[in-house]
Structure 1
Amino acid sequence: MGKLAGKTALVTGSSRGIGRATAQRLAREGAVVAVHYTADERAAAQTVADIEADGGRAFAVRAELGVPGDVETLFEALEAGLKDRTGTTTLDVLVNNAAIMGGVAPEEVTPELFDRLVAVNAKAPFFIVQRALTLIPDGGRIVNISSGLTRSANPQEVAYSMTKGAIEQLALHFAKHLGPRGITVNSVAPGITNNGSPVFDIPEVVAQMAQLSAFGRVGDPSDVADVVAFLASDDARWITGAFLDATGGTLLG
């Protein structure tokens, strides 16, 4: 029996990358996992298929984040899926992973791009947590995926990093608020992680990125997923409001 047997989980942005690896890892621990996606239905279906092929249980839920009505759209699909598979709408584990990046120089950040980053990366997680609290029982788990860029400068991602700093604050304050209920809220900060983007197919670029890690390699999504799985388990019951550095030593300098 896995450490999450009988539990349920929602992982936002889990059709690829860290989100997919996290959904797969939680499912291997026994959780019924809701695989959230925005647009790539095929990728989400593949994540579900991979989980089921491994003996797990999962279902896909679609909702575009950062737009009006996003949270209700997400939770309508989530509650229907949970009810169908478990008979209840209880949500034991929430992983806020979905996010978008900026990738432009500070001088090129427009108000529209800034607002979009805030809407998807900070506003949506806040209201997802708020809404999830109607479903999460005492002793539940909330994990926010932050970024090592809240501790290390990359001017092309200044606005993105600001939003990731925001969800670290979400974890800190909600951890205090939800402590009496035994609900833990923590942040996990990945470093450079192979998310399947074309850049990771270029050996020279990967070699350069690998030098930023103390281990001399780029991260694999499973490296981060394993940390999230630990925080989602009862083993992490005494950890809340924490910032976990999962950058592979990138922040050591």
Structure 2
Amino acid sequence: MGPAHAASGLAAGALTLGLAAAHLGIDRPLEQLAWVVACGGFAYLPDLDQKGSTAGSMWGPPTRALSRVIGVLARRHRGGTHDLVVAPLVFGVLAAFAASNHWSALVVLALAIGLALHSVAQLVPGDTEKTALGNLVVSFLAAWWLTRQGVVLPWLPVAVAGGVVVHVLGDALTTDGVPVPFTTWLRKKPLTVGLRLFRAGRGPEPLLQYFVFPVLTVLGLVRYVGPVRHLLTPLV
């Protein structure tokens, strides 16, 4: 489900901070945190393929319209956006075009923040971030502030593609599985593959969402982000 996907993306973002520093130049604390949040938000992105999805309701009409378009192109829920080859490549290329312009990159970053915030809204006090307008305003203000602080965004395509990969691998654990690459468009009913260990939202998913992924996220932040390490090491 969406919150578990976002939690897995946050964990993946935190645990890959070492690689992000070595290969993408993400080594300043604020940019490191932006990377982690972006990975978490984009791990929710493939579920925009479903009309009426909770992700599609995030900003009201704009994201509902986006969800409809993605749903048509993906052909079905857990269709094209869950193709382990096509989805990361297409979303990554689109993000690469967006990252070449300051304002479009800001929109993509705001989308990541909005998706991450939307997925964990139940854990955040208050109701502002739960409304479409509230989430929209908070997401764009946060994205604008990050870019004003000098956070550069050439790494957005990697965060987008990586988040999508994490999402697809997560869904591959569930009973519905994910489509075999390319079969969504080549067959009326695509072939699926997966470990099929549990139903979405059932089995070990709550444990992963509320304990395993948050612990991994904190450990990654403590390991790689200096200010977080100084703050939390005594507690950890």
Bin the TM-score by the shorter chain. Answer: under 0.3
Q: Tell me the TM-score normalised to structure 2 length.
A: 0.27
| Greater share of residues in strand | 1
Query: Does 1 or 2 have the higher relative contact order (CA < 8 Å, sep 6+)?
Result: 2
| Greater share of residues in helix | 2
